[in-house]
């Protein structure tokens, strides 16, 4: 800010930021370390490195079921919430209409809501309506919390979207549908894609909503929780690590897709 | 209004500012007199903002000295310097009222609330703002009012030198003109030293006692508005003054030069020392057109291609027959050129009206 | 009315509104209804009564409620202090690197909360990573904080850190540098610039972050269960056990209602103070 004196603040802040990052990653590293330990009960330093728990996880049918359930829920949540959030974000940020301010607040409310309480309320709601809970009801429950988040992400993109683009397209004779397909969606696609990735990962890792709404089905986070409180097994860090690997792979795939998209754009407009 | 200055209040000695490999300000020496209105003019990227930030104390020069009333102040931070700046964005505190903004420097200095209020009212009056604005939010004020509030706040600090970083650049033309004059009036009323930076030479001309022209980190020319207008030191200054005709020329013999594009020869009244090659600068308003041009020593033959009305004046574009150079010629609105477009005409000027520069 | 419905904005709002009506507002109204039903009933047809409310305030539930409020408040304070410098760096110093730092900090959010909390268990466990390293390197043995109150605070601070950090970054980036420089130029010290300019102007971000963390921590369940053992019962634990083990839906509903309405008041206050368009759209 002024002559000279700022210089000492910057290294301090950098070091502090590094500490925070280490703090954030400590438990994840701990889980991975534990997953490679041979012992039945974890102790550190690890004496026998081993991958036997991974072998077990890959061959176990129940693990496959768990992963499949988690994946199905997350995939379905992603598709539905991105579609709803697309329209929601237009209403949130693109159009000016009476009632918009109220709409914005109602949409954001579920994000602030304690998830465990929301899960219980939904459990009550389903039983009152006579719906038997299963992984399908969990999809619905996840959507209540995740769709608003995706709406928020897409809205950020919509705020910077110039409405004149749509008007120009329609002025040149495009119908509403054509405008949507050829202008609105492509321009908003970065927001939609990142919203989708978030939706997938948040659903994939969600525990408090799943706990009360999956009924007889079980997702990985629920299983992990059950094992954590009822008795340690080395499968817990192993599956935990696999979950993290899944999240990392999805992020990586998104990053690759994004880079490819950028490169294609560059090549298209380079000529 | 001569270029002699009284006691210098601020002296710059070999000021250099580097950002990595890039030299933003390159070895500047300058004296600013007490009570002077000095304006630094330059295009964007010329280093003028970097310069003013060092003078105010927001940045520190890479080398060189800044001397305020005989004291080296390089290492004195902005909050300890008896100078302050009106920012380009004005930087009014959006969460404070007009009154709180103006009183801010006094509050910081520990002035008691009653005295602060008194001084704030004085400043509001001095800047022609209604006293009722004291409790108004700054975001409710118009552009011109915000300018005045920013100035009042800076004056409340009672600085030795007031710096201005293009504060008028975002305003529309008419308001800018009004405020330029008001600023000059305030300068006379307060008798403080004003250092102003702008990219508009026109603005500088209106207000300043002296002007310094910067380009690419260097101070190209310092002088009164008249000195700079009459004798620009190089092509950059000449063209920066406004629309001019610039012809690249080389020396033929004493006071004779030849155009590099078509070989036409011109005469000049003065030439710089060791002149070999350079530019001939001819202002549009001194160029004669049609009959009056025919007896002049320097002439060009061309066609009238277009005319543009500039309010009090009319500008003509004449395309030279020999090299297609697009000459600009200006006449007063009430004594226009009598001919038609596409006429073939002579344009010409007196030798002493053209300015010859080396670079 | 018809004309209002025909607006494109209204039509775009319809799908998500239906979702929230069926999955959020409906269930909430029902919970509200249940909370006034006679204890241990399983339908909404009973005679409305305040019995649940009375039994809750006459019982020791206030202890878990106070624990929740206290732990949430401590979490907010700790996070304000530890996040402020990082947010300042991200908003004002790191420049193009800020995006990378944002990514690095956001990624753990995508890993299930209970896996990350379990990682802390492994870290803090007797013979775990912290203890094991200390023994191995220095031969010392310190008592573990696991299953005690500090571990719960650690978990809350850990889980909600990004929810404080990102609003603070937005808040601080809304403070124009020139305004701070102007104050400094007018004689203010660093601390005066901080108090008079930076904090008031970053207040929307500070408020959002603090209230978000407070509300989320107030309703948190996993931290106290996984890291706290049974050291402290938080209000969400009580709600869960009322619904599940105790099978007393009306009581659970009333507890939820109390929790929701106290958070709701805070959120209402927050929404009144801030302009969402400005903060999200940065206009």
> Mean pLDDT by 10-residue block, N- to C-terminus, for chain C (283 residues)?
81 92 93 90 84 86 90 96 95 87 86 89 86 83 85 94 91 90 93 93 89 89 85 88 87 91 84 73 49
Q: Is C223 on the interface with A (CB under 8 A)?
A: no
Q: Are B168 and B180 in contact (CB under 8 A)?
A: yes
Mean pLDDT in residue range B169-196: 91
Nearest to C132 among A45, A108, A225 (CB): A45
Domain C61-107+148-279 falls under CATH 3.40.50.410: no
Q: What token pair was written down for A148?
A: 């608003």
Q: Which of C181, C186, C192, C275 to mutate to test the interface with B (most CBs of B within 10 A)?
A: C186
What is the predicted pLDDT for the residue at B1? 43
Q: What token pair was written down for C138?
A: 């220095």
B282/B169: higher pLDDT: B282
Neighbours of C38 (CB within 10 A): 12
Kindly provide the b/e burial profile for residues B234-247, where b requires at least 16 CB atoms within 10 angstroms of the residue's own CB.
Answer: bbbbbebbeebbeb
Q: Cα(A149)–Cα(A200) distance, rounded to whole angstroms?
A: 12
Nearest to A124 among C15, C27, C107 (CB): C27
Q: In the β-sheet with B218-223, what is the strand arrangement from edge to edge?
A: B83-86, B161-165, B193-198, B37-41, B210-215, B218-223
Q: Is A224 on the interface with C (CB under 8 A)?
A: yes
Q: Cα(B43)–Cα(B26) distance, rounded to whole angstroms?
A: 16
For residue range A3-18, what is the model confidence (pLDDT) as tens digits? 444 567 889 999 999 9
Q: Which residue(s) pair with B210 in the sheet?
A: B38
Task: Identify which of C14, C53, C16 has the alpha carbon closest to the alpha carbon of residue C250.
Answer: C53
- Chain A positions touching C120 (Cβ under 8 A) are 26-27, 30
For residue range B91-143, what is the model confidence (pLDDT) as tens digits? 999 989 999 999 999 999 999 999 999 999 999 999 999 999 999 999 899 98
CA distance C161 to chain B (A): 28
Q: Which residue(s) pair with B288 in the sheet?
A: B348
Q: What token pair was written down for C169?
A: 């970054």
Q: Cα(B237)–Cα(B231) distance, rounded to whole angstroms?
A: 9
What is the predicted pLDDT for the residue at A170? 85
A41/A182: higher pLDDT: A182
Q: Are B153 and B104 in contact (CB under 8 A)?
A: yes
Helix (H, G, I), strand (E, B) or coil at B278: strand
Q: Cα(A15)–Cα(A21) distance, rounded to whole angstroms?
A: 10
Nearest to C187 among B56, B87, B109 (CB): B109
CB pairs B-C closer than 8 Å: 57
What is the predicted pLDDT for the residue at A142? 96
Kindly provide the b/e burial profile for residues B277-315, where b requires at least 16 CB atoms within 10 angstroms of the residue's own CB.
Answer: ebbbbbbbbebbbbeebeebebebebebeeeeeeeebbb
Q: Cα(C9)–Cα(C253) distance, rounded to whole angstroms?
A: 35
Nearest CA in chain A to C123: A30
Q: Are C279 and C170 in contact (CB under 8 A)?
A: yes
Q: What token pair was written down for A163?
A: 């409405």
Q: Is C134 on the interface with A (CB under 8 A)?
A: no
Q: Which residues 6+ apart lie within 8 Å of C242 measured at CB? A: C248, C249, C251, C252, C255
pLDDT over 80 at A19, yes or no: yes
Mean pLDDT in residue range B54-65: 92
- Chain B positions touching A2 (Cβ under 8 A) are 57-58, 77-79
pLDDT over 80 at A157, yes or no: yes
Per the listing, tokens 């305040």 go with: C50
Q: Are C86 and A16 in contact (CB under 8 A)?
A: yes
Mean pLDDT in residue range B76-88: 91
Q: Which residue(s) pair with B221 in the sheet?
A: B213
- Chain B positions touching A9 (Cβ under 8 A) are none
Task: Identify which of B157, B160, B164 has the alpha carbon closest to the alpha carbon of residue B191.
Answer: B160
Range with lowest mean pLDDT among A28-42, A110-124, B107-121, B268-282: A28-42
Domains of chain A: 54-270 (1.10.3720.10)
- Chain B positions touching A5 (Cβ under 8 A) are 77
> What is the ipTM score, two decimals?
0.88
What is the predicted pLDDT for the residue at C282? 46
- Chain B positions touching C183 (Cβ under 8 A) are 93, 104
pLDDT over 90 at A63, yes or no: no
pLDDT over 50 at B326, yes or no: yes
For residue range B295-305, what is the model confidence (pLDDT) as tens digits? 899 999 999 99
Q: Cα(B80)–Cα(B239) distance, rounded to whole angstroms?
A: 40
Q: Is A17 on the interface with C (CB under 8 A)?
A: yes
Nearest CA in chain A to C81: A16
B15 φ, ψ (degrees, to nearest 5): -75, 125
What is the predicted pLDDT for the residue at B231? 87
Q: Are C228 and C148 in contact (CB under 8 A)?
A: yes
Mean pLDDT in residue range B338-355: 89
What is the predicted pLDDT for the residue at C78? 97
- Chain C positions touching B89 (Cβ under 8 A) are 176, 178
Mean pLDDT in residue range B164-175: 89
Contact criterion met (CB < 8 Å) for B58 and A1: yes
Q: Which residues 6+ apart lie within 8 Å of B225 measured at CB? A: B204, B205, B208, B211
Q: Which residues 6+ apart lie within 8 Å of C212 measured at CB? A: A112, C160, C163, C164, C167
Domain regions of chain C by residue span: 61-107+148-279
DSSP C142: -
Band (pLDDT 50/70/90 cuts) for residue A121 is very high
Enumerate neighbours of B (3 or more CB pairs within 8 A): A, C
Chain C, residues 234-263, CB within 8 A of chain A, namely 236, 239-240, 243, 249, 252-253, 256, 259-260, 263
Per the listing, tokens 């890291």 go with: C227
């Amino acid at each position: 800010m002024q002559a000279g004196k700022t210089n000492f603040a910057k290294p301090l802040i950098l070091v502090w930021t590094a500490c925070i990052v280490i703090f954030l990653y400590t438990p994840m590293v701990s889980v991975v370390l534990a997953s490679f330990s041979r012992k039945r009960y974890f102790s550190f330093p690890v004496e026998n490195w081993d991958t036997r728990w991974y072998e077990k996880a890959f061959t176990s049918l129940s693990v496959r079921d768990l992963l499949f359930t988690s994946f199905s829920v997350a995939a379905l949540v992603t598709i539905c919430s991105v579609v709803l959030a697309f329209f929601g974000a237009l209403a949130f940020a693109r159009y000016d209409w009476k009632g918009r301010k109220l709409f914005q607040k109602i949409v954001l409310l579920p994000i602030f809501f304690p998830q465990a309480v929301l899960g219980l309320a939904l459990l009550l709601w389903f039983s009152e309506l006579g719906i038997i809970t299963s992984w399908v009801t969990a999809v619905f429950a996840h959507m209540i919390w995740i769709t608003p988040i995706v709406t928020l992400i897409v809205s950020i993109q919509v705020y910077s979207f110039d409405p004149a683009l749509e008007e120009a397209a329609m002025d040149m004779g495009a119908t509403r549908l054509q405008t949507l397909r050829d202008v609105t969606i492509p321009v908003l696609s970065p927001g939609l894609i990142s919203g989708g990735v978030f939706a997938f990962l948040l659903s994939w890792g969600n525990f408090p909503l799943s706990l009360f709404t999956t009924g007889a089905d079980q997702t990985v986070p629920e299983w992990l929780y059950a094992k954590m409180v009822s008795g340690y097994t080395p499968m817990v860090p192993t599956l935990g690590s696999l979950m993290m690997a899944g999240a990392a792979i999805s992020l990586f795939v998104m990053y690759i897709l994004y880079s490819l998209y950028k490169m294609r754009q560059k090549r298209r407009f380079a000529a | 209004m001569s270029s002699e200055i009284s006691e210098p209040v601020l002296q710059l000695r070999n000021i250099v500012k580097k950002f990595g490999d890039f030299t933003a300000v390159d070895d500047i020496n300058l004296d600013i007199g007490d009570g002077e209105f000095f304006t630094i003019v330059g295009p964007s990227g010329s280093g003028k903002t970097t310069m003013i930030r060092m003078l105010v104390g927001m940045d520190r020069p890479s080398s060189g000295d800044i001397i305020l009333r005989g004291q080296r102040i390089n290492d004195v931070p902005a909050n300890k310097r008896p100078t302050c700046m009106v920012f380009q964005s004005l930087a009014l505190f959006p969460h404070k009222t007009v009154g709180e903004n103006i009183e801010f420097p006094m509050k910081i200095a520990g002035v008691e609330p009653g005295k602060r209020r008194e001084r704030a009212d004085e400043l509001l009056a001095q800047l022609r703002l209604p006293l009722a604005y004291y409790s108004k939010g700054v975001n409710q004020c118009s552009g011109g009012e915000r300018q005045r509030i920013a100035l009042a706040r800076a004056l409340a600090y009672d600085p030795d030198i007031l710096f201005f970083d293009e504060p008028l650049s975002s305003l529309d033309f008419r308001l800018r003109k009004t405020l330029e004059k008001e600023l000059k009036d305030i300068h006379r009323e307060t008798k403080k030293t004003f250092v102003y930076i702008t990219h508009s030479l026109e603005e500088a001309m209106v207000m300043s006692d002296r002007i310094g022209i910067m380009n690419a980190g260097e101070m190209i020319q310092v002088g009164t508005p008249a000195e700079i207008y009459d004798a620009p030191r190089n092509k950059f200054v000449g063209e920066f003054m406004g629309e001019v005709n610039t012809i690249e020329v080389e020396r033929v013999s004493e006071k004779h030069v030849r155009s590099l594009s078509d070989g036409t020869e011109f005469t000049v009244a003065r030439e710089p020392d060791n002149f070999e090659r350079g530019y001939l600068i001819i202002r549009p308003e001194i160029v004669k057109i049609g009959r009056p041009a025919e007896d002049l020593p320097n002439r060009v033959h061309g066609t009238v291609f277009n005319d543009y009305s500039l309010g009090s004046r009319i500008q003509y574009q004449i395309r030279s027959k020999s090299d297609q150079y697009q000459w600009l010629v200006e006449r007063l609105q009430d004594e226009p050129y009598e001919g038609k477009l596409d006429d073939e005409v002579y344009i010409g000027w007196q030798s002493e009206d053209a300015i010859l520069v080396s670079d | 009315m018809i004309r209002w419905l025909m607006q494109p904005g209204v039509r775009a709002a319809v799908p998500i509104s239906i979702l929230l009506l069926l999955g959020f507002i409906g269930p909430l109204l029902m919970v509200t209804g249940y909370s006034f039903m006679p204890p241990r009933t399983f339908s909404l047809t009973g005679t409305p009564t305040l019995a649940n409310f009375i039994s809750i305030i006459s019982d020791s539930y206030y202890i878990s409620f106070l624990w929740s409020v206290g732990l949430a408040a401590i979490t907010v304070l700790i996070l304000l202090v530890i996040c402020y410098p990082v947010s300042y760096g991200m908003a004002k110093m790191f420049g193009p690197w800020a995006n990378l730092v944002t990514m690095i900090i956001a990624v753990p959010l995508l890993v299930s909360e209970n896996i990350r909390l379990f990682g802390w268990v492994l870290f803090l466990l007797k013979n775990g990573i912290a203890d094991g390293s200390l023994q191995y390197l220095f031969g010392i043995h310190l008592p573990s904080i696991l299953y005690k109150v500090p571990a719960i605070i650690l978990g809350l601070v850990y889980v909600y850190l990004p929810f404080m950090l990102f609003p603070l970054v937005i808040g601080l980036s809304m403070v124009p540098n020139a305004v701070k420089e102007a104050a400094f130029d007018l004689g203010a010290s660093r601390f005066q610039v901080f108090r008079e300019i930076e904090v008031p102007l970053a207040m929307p971000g500070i408020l959002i972050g603090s209230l978000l963390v407070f509300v989320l921590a107030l309703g948190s369940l996993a931290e106290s269960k996984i890291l706290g053992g049974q050291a402290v019962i938080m209000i969400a634990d009580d709600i869960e056990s009322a619904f599940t083990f105790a099978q007393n839906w009306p009581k659970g509903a009333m507890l939820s209602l109390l929790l929701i309405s106290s958070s709701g008041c805070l959120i209402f206050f927050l929404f009144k103070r801030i302009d969402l368009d400005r903060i999200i759209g940065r206009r």
